[in-house]
Amino acid sequence: MRSNWETIEMFTGIVEELGEIIELDRQGARLRIKANEVLTDATLGASIAVNGCCLTVVEWKTAAAGADGWWVADVSDETFNRTNLGSLRPGDPVNLERPVRLQDRLGGHLVLGHVDAVGTIIEPAPDLQINMDRELSRYVVEKGSITVDGISLTVVDVFDDGFTVAIIPHTEAATTLSSKGRGDPVNLEVDVTAKHIEKLIAWHTGPKSNTEETS
């Protein structure tokens, strides 16, 4: 889900840095985030995933003289409404990741930064359980991958309306999961590969037009 120029970026779901919300202005549709690591190669129009939501850098300042850096993204109403970004407050931590480069190791799985739905935490880490839209549950499989607030995780159990994940101490400490509790909203992105497979199967097994049948 982009807030500005529509380009295709890919992420891995491996969080690079915990940022912090400085300012959230829903009227001005802007989000200002404190960060350092993800700004080392920042450029105008660059992409950074915030809790798994791909946003565009429109303004930034790198760290200097002991002061933290920050960056700004324009955020549309749709993005605020369809992700957990609209519920953030100044001081809240956020997971940050830059797009993967061709020479990088793919440590997690392919993530688009397009949020499918907002889930709700039923049980917090380390035995994380999340409630989700039943319509999305068909894309979630045991030992498959799913992105929770931009974190690539491996599914343990699948239910009709949710799933569980076992969180290791490093992941809990290095991401926002350490500050999440019961009832907190989280951004979810299912594995896009499952969506492509579903569409291909539907096309091959569905009714064909006369043109398709005779071609």
- Burial (Cβ within 10 Å: 0-12, 13-18, ≥19) of residue 122: middle
pLDDT band at 206 (very low <50, low <70, confident <90, very high): confident
d(CA 32, CA 70): 7
Task: Centre a 10 Å sphere on the Cβ of residue 168 and count the other Cβ atoms it contains.
Answer: 10
d(CA 62, CA 60): 7
Residue 1 has pLDDT above 60, yes or no: no
Q: Where are the alpha helices (DSSP H) in 113-215?
A: 169-174, 192-205, 210-214
For each of the domains in the chain, give its residue range(s) and CATH number, in order of start.
17-97 (2.40.30.20), 117-201 (2.40.30.20)
Tell me which of 209 and 84 has the higher pLDDT: 84
Q: What are the E-state strand segments in 75-116?
A: 93-97
Residue 209 has pLDDT above 80, yes or no: no
Specify the range with the lowest mean pLDDT, choosing from 16-20, 82-86, 119-123, 207-211.
Answer: 207-211
The DSSP H or E segment spanning 55 is strand 53-61
What does pTM read for this prediction? 0.88
User: Which tokens belong to 107?
Assistant: 């440590």
d(CA 67, CA 153): 33
Mean pLDDT computed over every residue of the chain? 90
Residue 212 has pLDDT above 90, yes or no: no
Q: How far is CA 57 from the centre of its chain?
A: 16
pLDDT at 215: 43
